A and B are shown apart, each in its own frame.
Chain A
């Protein structure tokens, strides 16, 4: 009998035919057929010559789902949601990918606003039905769908249904599914409780929309293939690879096609598992490197890992179980270039297959990884793809020479730099994958495959400290081979809520059993014969945290022993990952998951030739870093018999790949044909740095600079990841209101994640001040310093800096810092936004720099004082531990990084990076015309006195420096709108960088050196003690940014956009929770519209200018934790400022209080007038906060209802059950003359309800024109 495995890639489709008993493998490679994806697999089957009657299985791994999603070739989705929440996919999370690039475009939601529908139904977080779903509502929905289908009968439609809390109670979704199946039997419908029964409505929305989008594509692909395969005479069932590493019958895979998103990649990891088990004791890192990208997977203890955290593109999550891997833009076609920051980069830009690398001779001129390999002699231009394609070496040299001139290196050194950078990028990705899971890459072997993997494997392995590389047979076809090695697999999960201190084992056991039955039922539908192996998991977290760890149960059925063991495993895992466990804390169980395997694994008997002689086929010179050009033997792999030993230097070529051995490396051919390479020890010349003559010092080596810069950035990203996963407060786990920073031992910033500009720029001043005040000599290993004093370099009172000095072998090497917004620190207002404070003392507990930990021990007195003065000490406890966990992560990584280079070399490298960044910034400033540019902006009031307060900026651009002089600003205010010096400096830096608008900013001290900010004490921009300043950071920073951007718009006309919303719409809530009796607080942020740009409309619903990673709290998380209901969360029509390019829309959020009382404070601005427009564009819609008390007929401002001085800044208003709170976030300003906006664009605005007929007036049209425009 024969087994066929097929992998369809972007360029080629690979087929493997395996005869299981003899182990004979035959392979076929055909060009892929993207226009008709099923043609290539069929062509490959025909070409294989496999006798149809002998085929008893076909499994296909396909990128069709991913490609359809990325290239947007799928259905037009109609999105059905709970009424009031239908805009969730369009609002998304409000965060931004690029902190300093206001032109960044928000990712496509996958659905247009004209295609969303809100159905009248509502369930609460406990599953109680608040609004029943009536038959009349179903009919109304059906009529709306029918109208859409009738209006565009040729459109490929699909429906995605996502009701709030469908994971708790799917009844309403099932009713909708049943109704639609009956009324529209040919319409594909995806239901969220089937596709992704997890909480967080946006994540679920993005998943179910993706599922609906690709449903028909997958169904047609699978259906056509099944039919054609039968027509060939093959009776074997057709299966498709799933993203979780299993496979399923083509028909059932199409029921939830989102599980096929990584189908094309899973095969490689499955194959890698086999070779890791055979040659690496079950511990391998798989490296699948092709033309465009490299995929890195992890096999630990013989199994691959799984994750539910996946994004099809940034900001668009898909919640399903995926093989845990990471992809980086590092492939043979990756282009090498010098970025705007002046550093050498390789990828993610790719030359693709057309024109391809320069050496393809198809018109490509930029140097690529393949060109570098040709230049160094590592690829034979006459034997590429087994000789089927000829490469032109001269073109590779020419492309390389251009880059070499910029780098001032030789052509060979440039090529080496490219390959070293590529290897470093892959090593970094691998390191993140392993260390993030508490593992050490040095304990693993590298399993390398794909067309390009074996050529780079030894370089990558060496950078990771690995000693062994395994190159499977037919490495270019491993993904296809992997499809043959999969099991029938089903993953089922369900969100649950349990506490370890009140555990109901019977209920938990019943839930586990139900999910197990679902998984088994799915396997049976997929053709399971015999028994299945079941593995159960619980997602567990400490009470208060928001993300859990998946802990495997040691038995399939639940009992006390199994549960207690899971608890212990959770503590151990947490300690491994984050450096601490909290054994006295309650653990929450939030998900039950079952993986069911129908063991059908084939034991493919691969084998190398048994006899023959290993003779070089040819010889040529190859360039190696340390020894230059070396005469190197070339072998042809198919001729190498079992037991062959080859000592490098050597090249082992085959049709689909090439393996490189450096001098001293040793390769052995194993019985199954695998090459197992032992890497030469680091003492040998092979992998050492180049000899001293002509060797570049590390601080001048472009590769080293890029590698270290990336590593520093990665460390900060990891800190952030650890923080999000372990923090208690949603302000960190959901809203991400913190930033992670690294400083060298001279207290210069050397790294930061691109998180919140407000905090990043402030950290420049905060940390050095803190270290100077405490005294560097007084800081010891294991010390953690805490500090939130606005008069000592903090932004405002809630921002707390926690700082840890990092030592290596007793020597100080740097500092790790995390500045985080602690949501409750005492003071006069719940949530510690004392909007009417008149002194800093009213804002909360103020801590000058003091030790929180001393040599690893708690400074208990400080902790006791702090916890006694915060209203939610439990949250403080958890959040501070999360922050300290992030510092421990930084400490470990920084120690490892510095150990690699040595303390002194590392310092010089950092010096170089800082100088480099400074040079870059000065160069950017030189492009701005010299001059003095002025502008102003204002606060509407200070919460205490109802009058405007002005910021006035003079921006002096002088050659290569900028001085921002804010001396003309008003005197400091009585209320808390004052902006501390560091917040002012941060805002000024942010404004300049956003005006330049770059996304390649080297984030260290250097870029800030040419900027000077003047903010005299006693003014709004630098208040004198004891003035309050809590509002200054959050609301003052965006105002200063707008003020400076107004000036920069004069300096750089046509490059700066109109004003963004300018307020975070801060709502602070708190009280006693009626369900638990515990005190709670919450800090709620929301997104406003961004200003119209010179070339496009502004983004809808984004966080404020000085935030970037700040996200809004999902409704399902909010309502589960806090006693309010979110009745509506939508985009505000007409809130975008009219313009040639319209401002983005702000959001509208309506709450209802469900507790007896809730205490509310608020801090916003821009209620009198919205953000300014530019060049004739109109102001954006104003912000607003209103209340309708139970029994009232209309909404009032808080001034009208409660007599507050300010309608936007007040504290401690007591709302009661049934009261409603309405928030309007402002829209962005418009850009350009609105009368010039075309009819076509206005038509889209009307259809999508961004503009209403009444809103047409602002564009110089009448409301009556709406009918004509939308006809």
Chain B
């Protein structure tokens, strides 16, 4: 994972808020720019990781094993 933290410069009277491009969470102050997804603004680095994992892994079959008892 490569990227950088980007500070959002906003005047104090600004009322609008940005949202994370992937998960939708509101962003204040700064966002994560991920090199793999240059047009996205992520709320935090792990969010970009989740997007990456979901994109890479095939959708598992919905045939669950019986869950172990905790």
Contacts and interface: CB of A to CB of B under 8 A. Distances in A.
Contacts of B68: 927
Given A981-B25, A1017-B19, A931 B67 contact: no
Nearest to A932: B62
B12 to A, nearest CB: 10
A958 B53 contact: yes
B47 A1012 contact: yes
A1022 interface: yes
Contact of A981 (B16, B22, B26, B60): B26
Contact of B64 (A929, A961, A1025): A929
Contacts of B19: 981, 1017, 1022
Contacts of A340: 70
A791 B26 contact: yes
Given A772-B28, A792-B17, A1014 B62 contact: no
B67 A848 contact: no
Interface string A745-775: 0000000000000000000010001001101
Contacts of A1055: 67
Contacts of A1025: 16-17
A932 B67 contact: no
B67 A963 contact: no
A792 B27 CA distance: 8
Contacts of B70: 340, 924, 927, 996
Contacts of A1012: 23, 46-47, 50
A1193 to B, nearest CB: 51
Contacts of A775: 29
B26 A792 contact: yes
B1 interface: no
A929 B16 contact: no
Interface string A779-802: 000000000000111000000000
A297 to B, nearest CB: 39
Interface string A1000-1043: 00000000010011111100011001000000000000000000
A933 interface: yes
Interface string A930-949: 11110000000000000000
A769 B69 CA distance: 38
Interface string B1-27: 000000000000001110100111110
Contacts of B63: 931
A262 B64 CA distance: 53
A444 B50 CA distance: 54
A1080 to B, nearest CB: 33
Interface in A827-873: 848
Tell me the dominant secondary structure on chain B's binding face.
loop
Contacts of A932: 59-60, 62
Contacts of B59: 932
A996 to B, nearest CB: 8
Contacts of B64: 929-931, 933, 1050-1051
A985 interface: yes
Q: Tell me which of A773, A775, A1009, A1012 has the highest count of chain B C-beta atoms within 10 A of its own C-beta.
A: A1012
A257 to B, nearest CB: 43
Q: Tell me which of A1014, A1021, A1022 has the highest count of chain B C-beta atoms within 10 A of its own C-beta.
A: A1014
A772 B23 contact: no
Nearest to A1017: B19
A1052 interface: yes
Interface string B22-63: 111110111000000000000000110010011001011111
A848 B17 CA distance: 11
A1150 B30 CA distance: 52
Contacts of B53: 958
B31 to A, nearest CB: 11
A908 to B, nearest CB: 22
A928 interface: yes
A791 B24 CA distance: 11
B42 to A, nearest CB: 12
A1052 B69 CA distance: 10
A961 B50 CA distance: 9
A916 interface: no
Nearest to B25: A981
B67 to A, nearest CB: 5
Contact of B24 (A956, A1017, A1051): A1017
B26 A963 contact: no
Given A848-B15, A963-B54, A929 B65 contact: yes
Nearest to B63: A931
Contact of B67 (A791, A927, A958): A927
A930 B60 contact: yes
B50 A1015 contact: no
A775 B28 CA distance: 10
A1013 B24 CA distance: 9
B37 to A, nearest CB: 14
A958 B60 contact: yes
B24 A981 contact: yes
A933 B62 contact: yes
Contacts of A961: 50
Given A769-B28, A1016-B24, A1051 B67 contact: yes
A1013 B28 contact: no
B62 A931 contact: yes
Contacts of A985: 25
B26 A769 contact: yes
A464 B49 CA distance: 46
A1055 B54 CA distance: 27
Given A931-B63, A958-B60, A1014 B28 contact: no
Interface string A919-930: 000001001111
A887 B46 CA distance: 32
A489 B69 CA distance: 55
A775 B57 CA distance: 38
A1013 B23 contact: yes
Contacts of A1009: 46
Given A1012-B47, A1052-B67, A1055-B67, A931 B28 contact: no
A765 B17 CA distance: 14
Contacts of A996: 70
Contacts of A792: 17, 26, 28
A701 B65 CA distance: 37
A39 to B, nearest CB: 45
A963 B47 CA distance: 11
A551 B17 CA distance: 51
Contacts of A1022: 19, 24
Nearest to A956: B54
B22 to A, nearest CB: 7
Contacts of A930: 60, 64
A769 B18 CA distance: 12
B62 to A, nearest CB: 5
17 contacts: A765-B25, A765-B26, A772-B28, A772-B29, A772-B30, A773-B29, A775-B29, A793-B28, A927-B67, A929-B64, A929-B67, A930-B60, A981-B25, A996-B70, A1014-B24, A1017-B24, A1055-B67
Given A775-B29, A793-B26, A1009-B46, 9 more contacts: A773-B28, A927-B69, A929-B64, A929-B66, A930-B60, A963-B54, A981-B24, A981-B26, A1025-B16
The list of the 7 closest CB pairs from A to B, nearest first, reads A929-B64, A772-B29, A772-B28, A773-B28, A1015-B24, A1022-B24, A929-B65
Interface of B: 15-17, 19, 22-26, 28-30, 46-47, 50, 53-54, 57, 59-70
Interface of A: 340, 765, 769, 772-773, 775, 791-793, 848, 924, 927-933, 956, 958, 961, 963, 981, 985, 996, 1009, 1012-1017, 1021-1022, 1025, 1050-1052, 1055
